């Protein structure tokens, strides 16, 4: 029994050691934990010369970089790095780089990462700027983002193994500036109004998109058979200010309903970032503009108009606010018909 125990322990140690050795030299990865490495057969640290040059992203103005930047507002940034200068690096991780020479201009890419969705987009500019400068326009609000700059530059150096020959590689310089992007766009929600199977929808669409500075403007889309019996009917009204005082015009957006109609209201649309659903309100109010004055209970799936004491000028209304506090209030006139 004792012999058996010793042999077992001995075998276990040997097997354990062998498996460790195997995992260290085998570039296979645990794809359950690092699925992005599927198909990769490289070491994580390159052994050849490929210098990484430090970089900082600053404002072109030299002012302190803000903790929070504003959606759609251009921000003029600059990448400070020796990769843009005349002298290439002479060392990389303890390895000497003899007689280094830049072969090409820096190859620059700017991107913004939104860590909430893990998506990044490229920044491009047709403006004439220095090579290390960029105007970044963040179009997606996020509580966690990063402005990044990646620069690669081809260089060559003496091949010490073959005197008289040269070798080439790329030096790289890259860094991130973590930022928040503040949402300044009100929601673009609308209402679908359904009466006895016939529907009308009224909703705004930000136009032009990503406008800065405020106010944001929108087109108001008005469509549906409830207006005139034509299910293909659609009208677009331009130039509304997107915000807490959007009044659909009576002449083109009045919803014709009979006094005894049962009206179903559905909220459509969304916010460009996140809607605060706890503040969402809709229903029927008296008059348009300012704070809505409801004439019945809010947020009901159906309204029996016969049971409501309608004001002289009744409106459907929608009051939506996003998590950043941007508010949209939309008033749609009601036209009582026989």
Partner 1 sequence: MKKYLFLCLLIGLAFSNSVFAEAEDTSTPFATKSGVNAEEELEKDAKTNTSLVPDSVPMSLDFTKSDSIMPSNFRGGDPDKGLVNVLEDVYYEKHEHCLIYEEDAKKMTDDEKAAKFDSDPNITWTTQRVDSEGNKIDKNGNKEGDPDYEPVVDSVNNNVAHCGGYFYETGDYQIGNSGGRLVDTGIGNSGGDDGGEGKEGQKVYENKDAVDDTTKTVTSGQTMGVFVHDCTSPDVWIAFQEGAGTTDMAACKADLVEKITKECVKLKGRPDTTDTSRFEDFSLLCVDEGKTEDRDKAPWNKTATLSAIGPMFNADGVLKASNEVNVKSGCISKEDQTRLVPVSIDEDKNKENASAVKSVIDGIYVRRNVPFIFAATSIDNGSDRKKQMPVIPRIEDEDGKEIQASSDNSYIFRVANYPEDSYKDQPKYYFVAKARDDSGNITTIRLPLYILDSNASFETSSK
Minimum distance of partner 1 from residue 268's CB (angstroms): 16
State which residue, 97 or 191, has the beta carbon closest to partner 1. Answer: 97
State which residue, 64 or 302, has the beta carbon closest to partner 1. Answer: 64
Residue from 28, 98, 99, 104 touching partner 1 (CB under 8 A): that is: 104
Map tokens 């002449």 to a residue: 251
Q: How many whole angstroms separate alpha carbon 335 and alpha carbon 276?
A: 31
Tell me how far CA of residue 91 lies from CA of 85, 96, 150, 173, in angstroms: 16, 5, 20, 14
Residue 307: DSSP 8-state: G
Q: By CB under 8 A, tell whether 161 contacts partner 1.
A: no
Q: How many whole angstroms separate alpha carbon 239 and alpha carbon 298?
A: 29
Q: By CB under 8 A, tell whether 1 contacts partner 1.
A: no
Interaction residues for partner 1, span 254-273 (CB under 8 A)? 273
Residue from 264, 274, 281, 327 touching partner 1 (CB under 8 A): that is: 274
**DSSP three-state, residue 58:** strand
154-162, 239-247, 288-296, 307-315 -> range binding partner 1 (CB under 8 A): 154-162
Minimum distance of partner 1 from residue 230's CB (angstroms): 35
Minimum distance of partner 1 from residue 41's CB (angstroms): 7
State which residue, 157 or 227, has the beta carbon closest to partner 1. Answer: 157
State which residue, 107 or 233, has the beta carbon closest to partner 1. Answer: 107
Interaction residues for partner 1, span 45-74 (CB under 8 A)? 45-46, 50-55, 67-68
Which are the contacts of 150, defined by CB distance < 8 A and separation ≥ 6?
Answer: 108, 109, 110, 111, 172, 173, 174
State which residue, 101 or 236, has the beta carbon closest to partner 1. Answer: 101
Q: How many whole angstroms separate alpha carbon 1 and alpha carbon 25?
A: 37
**DSSP three-state, residue 252:** helix
Q: How many whole angstroms separate alpha carbon 54 and alpha carbon 173?
A: 6
Interaction residues for partner 1, span 72-91 (CB under 8 A)? 82, 87, 89-91
Which are the contacts of 333, defined by CB distance < 8 A and separation ≥ 6?
Answer: 248, 249, 250, 253, 254, 255, 288, 313, 314, 315
Number of residues that bind partner 1 (CB under 8 A): 94
Residue 324: DSSP 8-state: T
Q: Mask of contacts with partner 1, 112-131, x by CB under 8 A? A: -x-xxxxxxxx-x-x-----
State which residue, 124 or 258, has the beta carbon closest to partner 1. Answer: 124
Interaction residues for partner 1, span 278-337 (CB under 8 A)? none
State which residue, 209 or 289, has the beta carbon closest to partner 1. Answer: 209
Chain centroid, CA 324 distance in Å: 15
Interaction residues for partner 1, span 176-215 (CB under 8 A)? 176, 178-180
Q: How many whole angstroms separate alpha carbon 193 and alpha carbon 261?
A: 12
């Amino acid at each position: 029994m004792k012999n058996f125990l010793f042999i077992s322990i001995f075998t276990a140690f040997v097997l354990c050691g062998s498996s460790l050795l195997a995992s260290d030299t085998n570039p296979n990865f645990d794809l359950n934990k690092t699925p992005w490495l599927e198909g990769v057969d490289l070491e994580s640290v390159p052994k050849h010369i490929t210098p990484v040059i430090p970089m900082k992203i600053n404002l072109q103005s030299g002012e302190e970089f803000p903790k929070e930047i504003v959606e759609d507002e251009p921000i003029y940034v600059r990448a400070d790095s020796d990769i843009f200068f005349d002298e290439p690096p002479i060392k990389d991780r303890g390895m000497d780089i003899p007689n280094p020479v830049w072969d090409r201009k820096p190859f620059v890419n700017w991107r913004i990462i939104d860590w909430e969705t893990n998506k990044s987009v490229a920044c491009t500019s047709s403006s004439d700027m220095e090579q290390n400068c960029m105007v970044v326009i963040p179009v997606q609000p996020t509580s966690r983002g990063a402005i990044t700059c990646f620069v690669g530059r081809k260089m060559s150096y003496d091949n010490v193994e073959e005197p008289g020959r040269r070798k080439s590689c790329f030096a790289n310089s890259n860094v991130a500036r973590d930022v928040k992007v503040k949402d300044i766009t009100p929601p673009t929600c609308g209402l679908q109004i359904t009466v006895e199977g016939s529907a009308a929808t009224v909703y705004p669409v930000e136009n032009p998109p990503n406008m800065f500075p405020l106010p944001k403007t929108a087109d108001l889309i008005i469509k549906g058979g409830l207006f005139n019996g034509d299910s293909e009917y659609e009208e677009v009204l331009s130039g509304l200010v997107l915000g807490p005082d959007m009044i659909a015009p009576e002449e083109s957006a009045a919803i014709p309903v009979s006094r005894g109609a049962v009206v179903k209201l559905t909220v459509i649309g969304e916010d460009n970032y996140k809607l605060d659903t706890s503040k969402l309100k809709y229903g029927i109010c008296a008059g348009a503009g300012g704070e809505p004055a409801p004439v019945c209970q809010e947020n009901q799936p159906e309204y029996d108009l016969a049971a409501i004491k309608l004001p002289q000028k009744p409106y459907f209304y929608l009051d939506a606010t996003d998590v950043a506090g941007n508010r949209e209030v939309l008033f749609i006139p009601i036209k009582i018909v026989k």
